[in-house]
A and B are shown apart, each in its own frame.
Chain A
Amino acid sequence: MALHIIDRRLSGKNKSVGNRERFVRRYKQQIAEAVQRAVGKREIRHIEQAETVTIPRKDIREPLFRHGQGGVSDTVHPGNSEHVRGDRIARPQGGAGSGSGSQASNSGEGEDDFTFTLSKEEFMELFFEDLALPRLLRTHIASTQQYRLRRAGYSHDGTPQNLALLRTMGGALGRRIALTRAPQRELKQLQAQLDALLEQDDGTSEPLIELRQRIEALQARIARVAFLDPIDLRFRSRTRVPDPSNQAVMFCLMDVSGSMDQARKDLAKRFFILLYLFLTRHYEKIDIVFIRHHTQAAEVSEDEFFHSQETGGTMVSSALVLLDQTMRARYPAGDWNIYVAQASDGDNFTDDNAQCASLLAERILPQVRYYAYVQVVQEEQGLWHAYRQLARQHAHFALRKASTAGEIYPVFRDLFKKEGVAV
Chain B
Amino acid sequence: MNLSQYPVLAPRAGGQAWRPSPASERLAGGVPQAPLPAGQRPAQPLPDPSDWTFELIERYHAAIAATAGRFGLDTYPNQLEVISAEQMMDAYSSGGMPVGYRHWSYGKDFLATERSYRRGHMGLAYEIVINSNPCISYLMEENTTAMQALVIAHAAYGHNSFFKNNYLFGMWTDAGSIIDYLVYARDFVAQCEERHGVETVEQWLDSCHALSNLGVDRYRRPSRKNLARERAEREQREAYAQQQVNELWRTLPTRPGKDSALPGNERFPREPEENLLYFVEKNAPLMEPWQREIVRIVRKIAQYFYPQRQTQVMNEGWATFWHYTLLNTMYDEGWLTDGVMIEWLSSHTNVIYQPPAGHRAYSGINPYALGFAMYRDIRRICQEPTDEDRHWFPDLAGTPWLPALHHAMQNFKDESFVGQYLSPQLMRDMRLFSIHDDASQRELLVSAIHNEEGYRTLRQTLSQQYDLGAREPNIQVWNVNLRGDRGLTLRHIRHQGRPLTSDVQEVLKHAARLWGFGVQLESVNADGETPTLVYAVPAPPA
- Residues of A at under 8 Å CB distance from B? 1-9, 12-16, 18-26, 60-81, 83-91, 96-103, 105, 107, 114-117
Contacts and interface: CB of A to CB of B under 8 A. Distances in A.
Given A26-B104, A74-B435, A3 B77 contact: yes
A6 B141 CA distance: 12
Contact of B80 (A6, A12, A101): A6
Chain B, interface SS category: mixed
A22 B210 contact: no
A224 to B, nearest CB: 42
A178 B442 CA distance: 100
Nearest to B78: A3
Contacts of A21: 107
Given A6-B79, A63-B507, A75-B435, 9 more contacts: A4-B7, A5-B61, A62-B105, A73-B496, A76-B461, A76-B462, A79-B356, A79-B358, A96-B357
Contacts of A78: 354, 356-357, 365, 430-432
Given A15-B87, A90-B443, A115-B115, A62 B356 contact: no
A88 B447 CA distance: 9
Contacts of A18: 102, 107
A1 B77 contact: yes
21 contacts: A1-B65, A2-B77, A2-B78, A3-B78, A5-B57, A19-B102, A23-B108, A65-B213, A66-B472, A67-B471, A70-B439, A75-B437, A75-B461, A76-B465, A77-B434, A78-B354, A79-B358, A79-B431, A88-B444, A101-B363, A107-B501
Interface centre among B134, B355, B500 (most CB of A within 10 A): B500
B90 interface: yes
B449 A116 contact: no
B219 interface: no
B461 A74 contact: yes
B338 interface: no
Q: How large is the interface on B (under 10, 10 to 19, 20 to 34, 35 or more residues)?
A: 35 or more
Contact of B87 (A13, A90, A99, A102): A13
Contacts of B446: 83-89
A66 B501 contact: yes
B498 A16 contact: no
A62 B436 CA distance: 30
Given A1-B75, A5-B57, A64-B213, A85 B449 contact: yes
Given A85-B447, A96-B359, A76 B432 contact: yes
Contacts of A88: 443-446
A80 B357 contact: yes
A73 B437 contact: yes
Contacts of A84: 446, 449
A65 B24 contact: no
B539 interface: no
A7 B84 CA distance: 10
Nearest to B110: A16
Interface stretch (B14-22, B43-51, B316-324, B398-406): B14-22
B342 interface: no
Given A22-B202, A65-B214, A83-B446, A116 B115 contact: yes
Contacts of B202: 22, 26
Interface string B77-103: 111111110110110011000000011
B450 interface: yes
B502 interface: yes
Contact of B506 (A9, A63, A116): A63
B80 A79 contact: no
A80 B506 contact: no
Interface string B411-455: 000000000000000000011111111110011111111110110
Which of B110, B355, B462, B495 has most A Cβ within 10 Å?
B110
Contacts of A80: 356-357, 431-433, 449-450
Contact of B498 (A70, A75, A116): A70
B431 A81 contact: yes
Given A63-B507, A68-B500, A76-B432, A22 B104 contact: yes
Given A65-B503, A65-B504, A96-B359, A79 B354 contact: yes
Max chain A CB contacts within 10 Å: which of B77, B213, B446?
B446
Nearest to A22: B104
A25 B103 CA distance: 11
Contacts of A76: 365, 432-435, 458, 461-462, 465
B191 interface: no
